[in-house]
Amino acid sequence: MPSFPPLTTTLAFLAGILLTLGLKDFYPDLERRFRRRSHFPPNNTLAGAGLVVPQVDLEDRTRKSAGGGGGAIAGKREGGEGLEVVEGVEGCVGETPLIRIRSLCEETGCEILGKAEFMNGGGGSPKDRVALSIINMAEGSGLLKPNSGDVIYEGTVGSTGISLATICRARGYRAHICMPSDQATEKSDLLLKLGAVVDRVPPAPIVDPMHFVNRARTLAAEHTADPNRRGRGFFADQFETEGNWQAHYEGTGPEIYRQCCGHIDAFVAGAGTGGTIAGVARYLKPRLPDLKIVLADPQGSGLFNRIKYGVMFDSKEREGTRRRQQVDTIVEGIGINRLTANFEAGRELIDDAIKVEDEQAIAMARWLVERDGIFAGSSSAVNCVAAFRFAQILGPGHRIVTILCDSGTRHLSKFWARAGNISGELDVNLADIIDAASSD
């Protein structure tokens, strides 16, 4: 008589088959995951290759930090790390990298580093820091209220306006920008694309009511006084407000100090409002007493003589020689013939000044593209000329930090139109930078 297995054994066997098929149907990648895991030893090192595989943490992307507001969103699952997510475009301002400018390092024997402020994620310049600081201070003081119809007015040659227009849109305001009509047209074009109102006014001395700064101040006051207009007018006043240099004291300066591990021999920067050089100097000098703060000043500006000789004067400003109402240079963004509150905040900390001619700036801009692939604007080129020349004064083995303010894309119709196109050959040499003088 044939022998049959017990019924319970048969049922268990069939259940096992069904369970296996069910797992395969519901988890088609189970085997793939198992095999992938089996290739990694416990120390997460890829066998035979020496590659470290980082731990992957699952994070909850639905919860914000309890504090709310700006900054990174810190929501996480149990045991996970905080998300590295910034709050809006404002969160992209600051923490810009330091770039080692290799060609200048090789030529001088010094380490010349450029703070890549063109990588700020708002308006693409150091003015992002200033615009954000001014708006934050005004909101904190009750002078601005988001989405209330408030309008921010400012007189600027371009970069501050672009930064304000960007952050205004993110914060619920509109920007009204007054700028000299002789500035590069791409700046005003960009402002219009950002939704700003743009007044291009004729260049005029600061004592003229139609000077671009005075014009912005007047328009802000008229807006506030008009009962038929919604919201208030707020004059940003970048040249005089403490929020300018404080933005660099609280941001740019500490970043440079940390990125250089506290070892810097010189900081070189130009001055328009003066906020960058003043704020960075006020942060770094108390921590590095031997640090040299050096002003990079374009032709036509009086700040060089103010630092070197105590007087505001430039040879191109002699009566009968001036060609422009503001500063006689092709460079935009730096250079001025009056003292601002921001410049005065750091003037006593400036150790030296270097005058840079237009042709030197043009030669340096071309050099940076040819040798380093850095497409810089006019003020960045001036800074690099001064950093290069101060490196020659210090000698090899020193570390010099300067500011790469904005991209050459904002200077195409003026500065770069004169600089010309870059060929496939290396047609700029150091003599062009050291010895070049304006031929105009």
Which active-site residues does the annotation give?
A: 127
User: DSSP readout, 118-138?
Assistant: GG-SSSSSTHHHHHHHHHHHH
How far apart are the C-alpha atoms of 334 and 383, rounded to whole Å? 10
Contacts of 30 (CB under 8 A, 6+ apart): 23, 24
Beta bridge mates, 351: none
Please give the backbone phi and psi of residue 255, each rounded to the nearest 5 degrees, phi first. -65, -45
Query: What is the token pair recorded at 180?
Result: 């000299």
Beta bridge partners, 298, equal 356
Sheet strand arrangement including 111-116: 98-100, 111-116, 399-404, 266-269, 292-298, 352-356
- Which string of DSSP letters, residue by residue, matches 160-182? HHHHHHHHHHHHT-EEEEEEETT
The tokens describing 187, both together, are 């700046």
DSSP assignments along 36-95, one per residue: HHHTS-TT-EETTTTEEPPPP----TT---TT-SSS------TTPPPP---STGGGGSS-
Q: CB under 8 Å to 192, separation ≥6 — which residues? A: 198
Is 16 in a helix, a strand, or coil? Answer: helix
- E strands present in 163-315: 174-180, 197-201, 233-235, 266-269, 292-298
Q: How far apart are CA 382 and CA 404, in angstroms?
A: 10
d(CA 205, CA 31): 77
